[in-house]
Amino acid sequence: MPKTAAALMVGNEILTGKIEDTNTRYLARVLFELGVSLRQVVVCPDEEPIIVRELNALRSAHDMVFTSGGVGPTHDDITIDAVAAAFGRPVVESPEIAGMIRAHFGAAVTPAHLRMANMPEGAELVRSARSGWPTVVCENVYILPGVPEIFERKLDALRERLDEGQRFFNHTVYTRCDEGEIAELLTSLTFAHPDVTIGSYLVWSDPAYRVRVTFDSVDADKSAAAADAFVEAIPPEKLVRRTSPA
C-alpha cells in the first residue's frame, strides 16, 4: 500500500480569495509521481488553536503532512509556533538558519527577519543544494513556505527523501460518452477492480471529447486491465483516444 499524506494550507489570504492556492496542485502532482497518496487537504486561517487542532488530526491519520504558509517575518506568520504547540515543544532558534539570515540581510537584519530562524525544539533541518535554505521537518510534518516559487523549489528538493520506490500507473481514456451513459459501467468496474482508483471528468466545451476517465493503481497490470475493460464496454465510435504510462 502506498504511504498517505495530507496538506495543511495556512492563510487568511486563501480563505478570503486574495490569492489562488497553487501549492496544493503542485504538491498533489509531485506526490503522485513519487507514489505517495495525498488523502486530505485542509485550509485554515492564521489562528494557532485551529492550526494545532487540524495538524494533530492530520499527523495522527497520515504518514506525512505538508504545511504551506505562515513562516515569514510578520505578525500573522505563526505556523512554527503552532507546530511546536502541536508537538508540545518549545520554539528555539536555529543557529544555522539565523546565520544564513544575517549573511543574507547584513546590517539591515531585524528581529523580525530572525523570527524565520525559529523551529520546534528537536526538529530536523533537511538540506539540499537545490533549495539553498534548509527545510524544517518535525517528525512527520514538513514545514514549507506559502510563496509558490519557494514552495515548489523546496518540495522538489525533498523528492529523493520522499520517493517510496514505487509509482502510480495511470491509463486515461478520452470518450464522447455522456457521464450518464457510463455511470453504471464505472460503478461495476470499481467493484471489479478494487485496487484501481477510477475517476470520471466531464469537459463541457472541448469539441474533441466529452468525458475523460482515469485508471490509477500502484499495480501496472491492474490499471491496464481496468482500462481495457472500460474500452471494451463502450461503443467503438465513442472512443477518442487512450494514453498509457511511458
Q: What is the mean pLDDT of residues 78-90?
A: 98
**Residue 246: which pLDDT band, with cuts at 50, 70 and 90?**
low
In three-state form (DSSP H/G/I as H, E/B as E, the rest C), the secondary structure along 94-120 is CHHHHHHHHHHHHHHCCHHHHHHHEEE
CB atoms closer than 10 angstroms to residue 89: 15
| Mean pLDDT within 86-103 | 97
Rounded Cα–Cα distance for residues 160 and 98 (Å): 26
Name the grid cell of 245. Answer: 504510462
Report the pLDDT value the prediction gives residue 164, as an integer from 0 to 100.
75
pTM score of the predicted model: 0.91
Tell me, what DSSP letter sits at residue 134? P
Burial (Cβ within 10 Å: 0-12, 13-18, ≥19) of residue 205: exposed
- 3-class secondary-structure state, position 61: helix
Produce one character per residue of 6-45: b if its CB has 16 or more CB atoms within 10 Å, e if not. Answer: bbbbbbebbeeeeeebebbebbeebbbebbbbbeebbbbb
Classify residue 122 as left (phi > 0), alpha (psi -120 to 50) or beta.
left
Residue pointed to by grid coordinates 523528492: 159
Q: What does the pLDDT read at residue 131?
A: 73
Task: Say whether pLDDT at 130 is over 80.
Answer: no
Mean pLDDT within 140-167 = 93
Q: What is the mean pLDDT of residues 74-95?
A: 97
